[in-house]
Structure 1
Amino acid sequence: MNKTTLLLPVALALAACTQGPPAPTPTGPTPPPADTSAPYVADSATLAGYHWRLASATDAGGGRIDALFPGGDHVLTLTFADGRVSVSGGCNGQGASYAVGDGGKLEIGQMMSTQMACEPPLMDADSAIATLLAQPQEVHFEEDTPPRLRLVAADGSTTTWTGEATAETRHGGEGETVFMEVAPQRIDCHHPMMPDYKCLQVREIRYDDNGVKQPPGEWEAFYGDIEGFEFRQGERKVLRLKKFDKPGPVPADASSIAYVLDMVVESELTR
């Protein structure tokens, strides 16, 4: 008989004797795999792409921060641009410098404010948002429709903001800054799609390098719309506008240019 054939069963028997008892089968639930995903941390470009309207606010204990909701049509809104954040929707306009550091920490500088006096809920909202934003904030962006911004303050307070795309985001560029004076009365004009339509009467305003107003252009009928501007009969206004070329094909009865209100420079009531 072959010696190799005799030695094989002996080797197998010795190996079986040296093995330990089998590992016990777990009886508890299998733990879920580790979640390696993390929420998207918003950078300055993402913040600047939207106007952020306050949707919810809770303190560290989960209670609603009522002071941040003054009521009526007043909704606190954050706007980020050129390294600064502005706050609107309360009584006063507020603003400060800001930076987003490593790990998505939002740091806001000393808040500056206009000094108007309003009803207590609006004043309380100004104070509450300034106090909250004085703390470092963890910033998380939730890509949804509309997008959402979640800020978690150092004291555990959490605010959620919904985003409305800025004009630059919607029109795909920075746009050109122009100034336009709007007359206090509309004028008759021919609109191919709207009988009896009355146009705004406007003229271009220019300023020199020192900010001195130059002689205005000629009055003309304005057939389009100015986003964000509400005309009131009897009010003359000078507007600072952003002018955009609309991307893509434009209907034959529509303008290829979009005007968006940036700021009211002058306002005057006339008779």
Structure 2
Amino acid sequence: MNHRPLLLPLALLVPLALAACNKPAEPAADPAATSMAADPAAPPALADTAALLPAYHWRLAEATDAQGQKIEALFVNADKPVQLDFVDGRVSVSNTCNRMSGGFAQTGDTATLGPFASTLMACPDPALAALDAEVGKRLEGELTVASTAGEVPQLVLTNTAGDRLVFHGTATPDTRFGGPGERVFLEVAAQTQPCSHPLIPDKQCLQVREITFDDNGLRSGEPGEWQNFYDQIEGFSHQPGTRNVLRVNRYTVANPPADGSSQAFVLDMVVESELVKP
């Protein structure tokens, strides 16, 4: 079969050509919109606060009043900023004079904290002694809450007086190790002992044995044998001459390095502490 080329009359070709020439140009992209889309400094999206809060320790990084002035009374110890921890509908406050705790409930972007209860320790430093009241005054009651996830998660609490507190998140051990640890009690002897280590000459090891307590908080059973403890207990610093009983969380380390331990120990609390005479 022979195919003949399609021939259009000139009267039709001219209007088609003119229409092509007169086609309106595509609108130029909005530079501001492009910049916003590509700006790596743009704030991260709001996070699921309910899921984010219990996964991190929240340490105070900024605090300003309604006039934008820094609230100096909340920054007593730069090395130990006020810290919040959220667990099972409660919030605990540490790095204050006394440990404080209270209820926590959130609906949308509004949270209610407190009332707070605290231990009754006396602190000789007047600024530290006053910190409990300063924290309670800013955190107790109704606040607006916002959080963002990212390399450094952020929690912002603003009270009805206009005080704005910004906390930065540090992953909890449960978050870092991928699940809850095993709760164990370790007795740490007053003195370390020399122990052999392939990489550390003249190494001194803690002397540790595992103990158990019954439901009434009394020791039960026989303690384990004293053993060289080659690992570290995160959050615990041994003082020579002091015997301690520690409540720790023991975690399994996934893919430990060749020279590392397959377990990690994190201090939960010091149960007993005794100065032992030589």
**Same fold per superposition (TM over 0.5):** yes
Instruction: Summarize the Cα distance change of 1:53–1:115 in structure 2 as closer, same or farther, 3 Å threshold.
Output: same
Gaps of 5+ in 2: 1-31, 34-42
| Residue of structure 2 in register with 1:121 after alignment | 127
Kindly provide the CA deviation profile for residues 142-168 of structure 1, in whole angstroms up to 9, marking residues without a partner as x.
Answer: 223221111111221101111111000
CA contact (8 A) 2:44 2:148 kept: no
Aligned length: 239
SS at match of 1:196: coil
Q: How do 1:245-256 residues align onto structure 2 when only pairs under 5 Å count? A: 245-247=252-254, 249-256=255-262
Aligned 8 A contact 1:87 1:94 in 2? yes
Q: Which residue of 1 aligns with 2:145?
A: 139
- Partner residue in 2 for 1:170: 176
Judge conservation of contact 2:49–2:146 (CA < 8 Å) in 1. Answer: no
Letter in 1 for 2:237: E
Report 1:1-271 matches (<5 A): 39-71=45-77, 73-101=79-107, 103-118=108-123, 119-214=125-220, 215-247=222-254, 249-271=255-277
Percent identity, aligned pairs only, is 46
CA contact (8 A) 2:195 2:205 kept: yes
CA contact (8 A) 1:178 1:243 kept: yes
Whether the 8 Å CA contact 2:89–2:105 is kept in 1: the answer is yes
Aligned residues of 1:42 and 1:104 also touching (Cα < 8 A): no
Provide TM-score, normalisation by structure 1: 0.82
Q: Distance in 2 between matches of 1:139 and 1:172?
A: 26
Give TM-score scaled by structure 2 length: 0.80
Rounded to whole Å, the distance in 2 between the matches of 1:41 and 1:166 is: 17
Moved more, 115-124 or 41-50: 41-50
C-alpha RMSD of the superposition: 2.3
Shift of 1:117: 1.9
Looking at structure 2, the residues matched to 149 and 165 of structure 1 have their Cα atoms a distance apart, in angstroms, of 13
1:39/1:140 contact within 8 Å kept: no
User: 1:42 deviation in Å?
Assistant: 4.3
**Structure 1 residues without counterparts, runs of 5 or longer:** 1-30
CA distance, structure 2, for counterparts of residue 269 and residue 125 of structure 1: 30
Q: 1:42 to 1:133 in 2, by over 3 A?
A: farther
Does the CA contact (< 8 Å) of 2:44 and 2:149 recur in 1? no
What is the CA–CA distance in structure 2 between the aligned matches of 1:146 and 1:43, rounded to whole Å?
14
Give, as a single letter, the amino acid of the residue that structure 2 aligns with 1:242.
Answer: N
Q: Which amino acid aligns with 1:44?
A: A
* CA deviations over 1:130-185 (Å, ceiling 9, x no partner): 11111312111122322111111122110111111100000000111000011111
Distance (Å, rounded) in 2 between the aligned partners of 1:154 and 1:41: 22
Shift of 1:124: 2.0
d(CA) in 2 for partners of 1:196, 1:257: 23
